[in-house]
């Protein structure tokens, strides 16, 4: 077995073709759209790589690709922890520990060369909405952006020495169901009508204002936490541009108190319900038109909550429930949406977990963000809990 670097059209193609060998006919696996994956590795489309670096490798055995991995170093992430920490992701491998070890060794050696002292994985380059975490429970078709992998991957990571830095939970909810907790919705309706508060759904025609409001709320809500990563306006612009086909404006909500932004909520349709019909992961004009047609025909009946944030001053005011109240009115109008996934919330965030449970969510899936310390004698610490 030997490692080669992904550095040209042939190796890029091999990088994308390997998962088809790993997953075969697994009906739960939905091939990610190739152009979306490639945009992650493109400095012109991924703002995180302007100051960061990335490298990809393939593992070969007798002329056949049997594994792949990417490693990346982004200063805004690396400098957020006790030790400089890089990332690994897009890992795929046959069920062979020797093969996995060679991939991990290669990625970790590259990160060490950049001054890193630890590796987190499997994670994404940049924001954590997509391609983040190792699936360990809930081996069903994942919603758009949530990773899927064979069960044996956990053993490959843990045997090498990765440990769980935090767990990521996803919850299922039918927000239109009459069986949801009545008390919650009464409080939600009351809070939503309190004077001084204003609720607005996102509009592309006013995206500059909403992007700035998003950043203001995000920084106040997360800047003091260990998992905080600064978001630049360009990051949001890029995500909106790449995801415009996915976004429904009234799935994104902002809350204002006396005209100041205090909370946001973002949800997208689960496009994996459409992408599963395109097994080669490639899009062309004809397929895009077909996707738009299927979306218009209301084939998609599931949506995924990407992120929710409330500034500290209002985190005990019931604003979270009021946002769900506004969203419920939207989904009662769009009644073809009957499934919602609240994903993901880390075990370091008990307040958000309690909200997901209070609204009637049922935990259905678990992913792990794992960490490998290069100094094997250093004490391992899990992600700290967000305190009140």
* Predicted confidence pLDDT, tens digits, the chain (388 residues): 999 999 999 999 999 999 999 998 899 999 998 988 999 999 988 888 988 999 999 999 999 999 999 999 999 899 989 999 999 999 999 999 999 999 999 999 999 999 999 999 999 998 788 999 999 999 999 999 999 999 999 999 999 999 999 999 999 988 767 666 777 778 788 888 889 999 999 999 999 999 999 999 988 887 766 666 667 777 787 777 767 777 889 999 999 999 999 999 999 999 898 888 776 767 666 767 777 777 777 888 899 998 888 998 888 788 888 888 888 888 888 888 888 899 899 999 898 898 888 888 899 999 999 999 999 999 999 999 887 6
Shared domain check, 359 and 218? yes
pTM: 0.90
Half-sphere exposure of 102 (CA within 13 A, CB side): 18
Count of C-beta atoms within a 10 Å radius of residue 363: 16
Largest pairwise CA distance in the chain: 70
Mark which of 145, 167, 189 sits at the end of a domain.
Answer: 167
Let me know if residue 377 belongs to a domain. Answer: no
Shared domain check, 132 and 51? yes
Shared domain check, 119 and 15? yes
Total of domains in the chain: 2
Return d(Cα 168, Cα 348) in angstroms, integer: 9
Let me know if residue 375 belongs to a domain. Answer: no
Q: What is the DSSP letter of 179?
A: T
Return d(Cα 221, Cα 181) in angstroms, integer: 27
Domain containing 193: what range?
173-369
Rounded (to 5) percent helix, strand, coil in the chain: 35, 25, 40
Return d(Cα 285, Cα 296) in angstroms, integer: 17
Shared domain check, 330 and 236? yes
Shared domain check, 320 and 263? yes
pLDDT in tens, 282-326: 766 676 777 777 777 788 889 999 888 899 888 878 888 888 888
CATH number of the domain that residue 364 is part of: 3.40.630.30
Count of C-beta atoms within a 10 Å radius of residue 206: 11
Return d(Cα 90, Cα 287) in angstroms, integer: 25
Shared domain check, 203 and 108? no
Let me know if residue 382 belongs to a domain. Answer: no
Q: What is the DSSP letter of 47?
A: G
Let me know if residue 386 belongs to a domain. Answer: no
Shared domain check, 265 and 141? no
Let me know if residue 378 belongs to a domain. Answer: no
Mark which of 152, 167, 182 sits at the end of a domain.
Answer: 167
Provide the residue count of the chain. 388
Shared domain check, 291 and 364? yes
- Across-strand partners of 73? 53
What crossing angle do the helices spanning 319-333 and 182-192 adopt, rounded to 10°? 100
Give burial (CB, 10 Å; 0-12/13-18/19+) of 134: buried
In sequence order, the 6+-apart residues with CB closer than 8 A to the CB of 184 are 321, 358, 359, 360
Mark which of 107, 139, 167 sits at the end of a domain.
Answer: 167
Let me know if residue 374 belongs to a domain. Answer: no
Let me know if residue 376 belongs to a domain. Answer: no
Shared domain check, 179 and 112? no
Six-digit token string for 142: 């994942």
Residue of 94, 35, 87, 24 lying closest to 59 (CA atoms): 94
Shared domain check, 332 and 185? yes
Shared domain check, 159 and 187? no
Let me know if residue 136 belongs to a domain. Answer: yes
Torsion, Cα of 67, 73, 77, 82 (10° steps): 100
In sequence order, the 6+-apart residues with CB closer than 8 A to the CB of 379 are none
Let me know: does 129 contact 147? Beta carbons within 8 Å.
no
Shared domain check, 221 and 149? no
């Amino acid at each position: 077995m030997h490692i080669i670097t992904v550095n040209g059209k042939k190796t890029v193609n091999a990088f994308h073709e390997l998962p088809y060998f790993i997953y075969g006919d697994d009906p739960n696996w939905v091939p990610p759209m190739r152009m979306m994956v490639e945009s992650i590795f493109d400095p012109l489309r991924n703002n995180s790589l302007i100051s960061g670096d990335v490298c990809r490798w393939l593992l070969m055995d007798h002329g056949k690709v049997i594994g792949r991995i990417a490693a990346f170093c982004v200063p805004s992430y690396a400098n957020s922890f006790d030790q400089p920490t890089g990332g690994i992701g897009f890992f795929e491998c046959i069920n062979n520990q020797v093969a996995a070890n060679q991939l991990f060794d290669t990625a970790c050696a590259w990160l060490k060369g950049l001054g890193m002292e630890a590796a987190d994985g499997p994670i994404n380059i940049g924001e954590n909405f997509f391609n983040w975490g190792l699936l360990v429970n809930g081996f069903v078709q994942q919603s758009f952006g949530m990773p899927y992998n064979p069960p044996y991957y956990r053993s490959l990571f843990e045997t090498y020495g990765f440990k769980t830095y935090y767990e990521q939970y996803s919850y299922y909810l039918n927000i239109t169901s009459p069986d949801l907790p009545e008390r919650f919705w009464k409080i939600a309706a009351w809070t939503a009508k309190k004077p001084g508060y204003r609720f607005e759904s996102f509009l592309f025609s006013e995206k500059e204002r909403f992007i700035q409001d998003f950043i203001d709320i995000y920084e106040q809500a997360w800047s003091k936490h260990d998992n905080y990563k600064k978001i630049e306006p360009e990051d949001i612009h890029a995500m909106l541009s790449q995801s415009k086909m996915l976004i429904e404006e009234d799935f994104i909500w902002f809350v204002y108190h006396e005209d100041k932004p205090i909370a946001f909520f973002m949800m997208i349709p689960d496009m994996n319900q459409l992408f599963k019909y395109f097994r080669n992961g490639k899009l062309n004009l004809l397929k895009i038109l077909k996707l738009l047609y299927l979306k218009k025909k209301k084939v998609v009946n599931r949506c995924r909550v990407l992120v929710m944030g409330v500034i500290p001053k209002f985190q005990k005011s019931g604003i979270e429930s009021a946002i769900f109240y506004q969203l419920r009115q939207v989904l009662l109008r769009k009644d073809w949406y009957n499934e919602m996934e609240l994903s993901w919330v880390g075990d370091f965030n008990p307040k958000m977990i309690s909200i997901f449970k209070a609204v009637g969510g049922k935990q259905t899936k678990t992913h792990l963000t794992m960490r490998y310390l290069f100094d094997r004698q250093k004490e391992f610490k899990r992600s700290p809990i967000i305190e009140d």
